[in-house]
Structure 1
Amino acid sequence: MKRLSLAHGTALYVGAVLGTGVIALPALAAEVSGPASLLAWVLLVVASAPLAFAFAALGSRYPDAGGVSTYARLAFGPRAASIVGWCFFFAVPPGASAAALFVGAYLEAAVGGGRITVAVAAAAMIAVVGAANAFGVRLSGRVQFGLTLLLVTFLLVAVVLSAPHMRTDNLTPFAPHGWLAIGPTAALLVWSFVGWEAITHLTAEFRHPARDVPRATAAAVVLVGVLYLAIAFAVITVLGPAAGASDAPLGEVLAVAVGGDARLLAAGAAILLTFGAINAYFAGGAKLGAALGRDGAFPAWLGQGSSAGEVPRRSLGVMVGGVTIGLCAVLASGVGARVLVLVTTGLFVTVYAVGVAAAVKLLPRRSTAWWTAVAAMVIVLVLAVLTGRYLVWAALVTSGALLHERFRARRAAEADPSMSHSG
């Protein structure tokens, strides 16, 4: 039964996009380009609109739980669908690792302890969420919605309480690292706008997909854009030059506004929000891995748990292992979460490239939706250039997907020699 209303769809959209990045990326962006990072935020808000509407157009015309993977298959065949699935799956380990490090930084800002606190908190978060998923524990839709509401409330409270402490003097010098630094900052901020494709998996659940999906998209673009810009502006104007040095910027903003104890409140909110986000990563990613194993896009061994109600423990184990490796590598090298964010960005830029290319092919030519998809393709190509060397991991994952497809086709031909002569 179709049950998603316009309001519910808008809430799901906001929850999918407004994730853990907002608690850390304002500081990471300020570190790269100072107050000029505000321009990067504006650019990403504007650029996200064509992406969001292109996926909304696909979702309203082809409502299917497969989302971007389905569109890729319809437009370009199974190889493209396999690339999308692989990139989504392998985006979870670096993405979840970065999110866990974000919450570790907030806890360290509240209680101290340095890198040990960050490491223990991040590892504990991954272990708890991994164990919960291994035993089939799932957060209900209402709990996930509540966590999203908590995030929005927390952000609004932080902005309102910090308003009296905002100083426009902190906007100068505006571009301390040069104007060209805005480009790398924009690539970093892609993390904050990942999620526009997520709603495509639920478009079949809308009561009126053709009408409500575009409306929900428009409302979410405005809400998410306003919140991101407000938080980034608050972090920079309240903390000034110290903004880029903070690993827990919202905690520091609240500490300035209402006192040091507010860091504990910020840490508590970060823990709850990150738990919800990583739970969603693991639950969805593990199920995706099992489905890919079932369908042949991954080794068949990973197909265990793909049916409804089953727990995909093998896929989950691979995923948790990848997160653990990512965490250990980052903690040992001391490079911080920024590398993980950019690696994840490269994978999602690849997914977006395939998705909007599918939109250009599938949508009615020269329609408004088609021109929107063309604009989205230009934006994705620019983001790919800005992501630069961090596309290497995405290229390796894509190569793995194509090699596996080729290997699978060869095995199928060997099993059925008549296939090698078909065509």
Structure 2
Amino acid sequence: MATTARMTRATPTATGGTITVAQGAALSVGAVLGTGVITLPALAAEVAGPASLLAWAALVLLSVPLASTFAALGARHPDGGGVSTYVRRAFGDRAAGAVGWCFYFAVPVGAPPTSMMAGGYVADVVGGGRTTSVVVAATLILGTGLMNLAGLRFSGRVQLGLATALALLMTATMAVALPHGSTASLTPFAPNGWAAVGTAAAVLVWGFAGWEAVASLAADYRDPRRDVPRATGIAVAVVGVLYLGLATTSVLVLGPATGRSQAPLSDLMAIALGEQARVVTAVVAVLLTVGAMNAYYAGGSRLGAALARDGALPRWLAKGGEAGQVPRRSIALVTTSSMLSLVVAVVLDLGLTPLMLLATGCFTLVYVLGTAAALRLLPGGSRAWWTALVAHASVVALLVVNGLHALWALGLVLLSLAYRSWTHRQGDGSSASP
């Protein structure tokens, strides 16, 4: 869960920025490489066993046309609005508002599993099992909300530094743990059947959300048309190697225990370096989670205020959304909704996977709308257009394998459209008319 796309109404930005290819690649890797990687290998293995490696490979392959599509949009139409800008240009304000709803309401659903992932690493060190995980999750949700209410945020450099630390930790983990692996761990390869690979792929969307950030950053490149595709290519390669490498290492080294692990990175490091390594990975997991949640709360709360300003959400939510202000009402709504989601997850004993599927359904639907916009905005019949067609077909398939969980995302779209229609009938949405 690392996406950073901006959904506000955007004003075209001049080209000739300062981001180089290397910096752009690093920022793109940081946008995609999120908290999910600290637990995703275990969740995917729990769903599909060793066959989950096929799901990882499929998502890496999907990243190529998907990232290329957003890179093409960014290179041709450099603008800070990201997916929202392209959906608005292609389909109008109502569709752009629907994209905004998908992002905004994915945050409260995604916060509990994100924070519980870090809680699992803490529990792995101090004990306490699920109770510790839930307490850590609640602390992170409330703490992040309070930080944002006070106007405190992690800087972009800190966020990038945390992502770099995670990439280095993943690389070190693979290097020291892989020699302890065995191909015998690949048998049985698909213990839960081949259909489980599709479900695992739907879960893994969590770790690959963020490619749309390429489009948001395009206007800040020195030469968007030349540099965005290059930076994107480097980022896809780096993310693909890291994800596939860590997933393969987890399955080969941990074997059947992969799916039962609440802290796979810690388990791998402990096998190679000893139990003391668990403390290091737990600290990194918590810091990374705080950084990611802080970014999501900050971006999500501003998105909510912007949607309210544009008539896509109730007007009272817009207060504090101007530059230099703190959108406290939106932050309070996100924090409260996140806590309610956590309570529901605990009471119903849902685990991480169902909530993650609800959130990834939202991300996937945003990709469906974004790639559909690309088919209207990119030159018909060009290589970029055909690439967008492949990406669109792929994310539609992902939305289908998300199953009933996709109904949450589709319901949000319908609710956003219904709300916009109601406000227009009430004479409250004239400023947001297409």
Common topology (TM > 0.5):
yes
CA-to-aligned-CA distance 1:349-383 (integer Å, 9 cap, x gap): 11111100000001000011100111111101110
What does 1:217-228 align with in structure 2 at a 5 Å threshold? Answer: 217-228=232-243
Matched with 1:343 is 358
CA-to-aligned-CA distance 1:303-339 (integer Å, 9 cap, x gap): 1121111111111111111110111111122121111
Letter in structure 2 aligned against 1:48: S
Q: Give the one of 17, 21, 34 matched to 1:6.
A: 21
Matched with 1:369 is 384
Letter in structure 2 aligned against 1:366: G
Letter in structure 2 aligned against 1:272: L
Conserved 8 A contact 2:178-2:252? no
CA-to-aligned-CA distance 1:28-67 (integer Å, 9 cap, x gap): 1101111111111001100121111111111111111211
What's the CA shift for 1:411? 2.4
What's the CA shift for 1:179? 1.9
What's the CA shift for 1:177? 1.6
Q: Give the one of 254, 275, 290 matched to 2:290.
A: 275
Matched with 2:11 is none
Q: Give the one of 311, 330, 340 matched to 1:325.
A: 340
Q: Give the one of 362, 368, 372 matched to 1:353.
A: 368
Matched with 1:312 is 327
What does 1:168-187 align with in structure 2 at a 5 Å threshold? Answer: 168-187=183-202
What's the CA shift for 1:414? 10
What's the CA shift for 1:163? 2.0
What does 1:224-239 align with in structure 2 at a 5 Å threshold? Answer: 224-239=239-254
Tell me the C-alpha RMSD between the 2 structures: 1.6
Matched with 1:298 is 313
Structure 2 distance, partners of 1:68, 1:267, is 34
CA-to-aligned-CA distance 1:59-111 (integer Å, 9 cap, x gap): 11111121111111100111110100110101111112211010001100111
Whether 1:287 aligns to 2:302 is yes
Letter in structure 2 aligned against 1:349: T
Deviates more, 1:159-168 or 1:218-227: 159-168
Secondary structure class of the residue paired with 2:87: helix
What's the CA shift for 1:257? 1.2
Secondary structure class of the residue paired with 1:329: helix
Matched with 2:6 is none
Conserved 8 A contact 2:107-2:296? yes
Structure 1 distance, partners of 2:161, 2:19, is 17
What's the CA shift for 1:243? 0.6
Matched with 2:213 is 198
Letter in structure 1 aligned against 2:95: A
CA-to-aligned-CA distance 1:211-230 (integer Å, 9 cap, x gap): 11111111111100000000
Whether 1:24 aligns to 2:24 is no
CA-to-aligned-CA distance 1:174-207 (integer Å, 9 cap, x gap): 1122222211111111111110012322221111
Matched with 2:180 is 165
Matched with 2:63 is 48
Structure 2 distance, partners of 1:85, 1:118, is 30
Conserved 8 A contact 2:250-2:268? yes
Matched with 1:92 is 107
What does 1:381-396 align with in structure 2 at a 5 Å threshold? Answer: 381-396=396-411
Structure 2 distance, partners of 1:13, 1:58, is 15
Q: Which runs of 5+ in 2 are unaligned?
A: 1-15
Richer in helix (by share): 1
**Number of residue equivalences:** 418
Matched with 1:68 is 83
Matched with 1:112 is 127
Whether 1:145 aligns to 2:164 is no
Q: Which runs of 5+ in 1 are unaligned?
A: none
Structure 2 distance, partners of 1:310, 1:207, is 30
The TM-score normalised by the length of structure 1 is: 0.96
Structure 1 distance, partners of 2:200, 2:104, is 25
Q: Give the one of 91, 96, 101 matched to 2:116.
A: 101
Matched with 1:216 is 231
What's the CA shift for 1:415? 8.4
Indicate how the Cα distance of structure 1 residues 296 and 370 shifts in structure 2: closer, same or farther if over 3 A, else same: same
Secondary structure class of the residue paired with 2:192: coil
Secondary structure class of the residue paired with 1:412: coil
CA-to-aligned-CA distance 1:269-305 (integer Å, 9 cap, x gap): 1001101110111011011111111111111111112
What's the CA shift for 1:413? 8.5
Structure 1 distance, partners of 2:289, 2:240, is 21
Whether 1:188 aligns to 2:203 is yes
Identical amino acids, percent of aligned pairs? 51
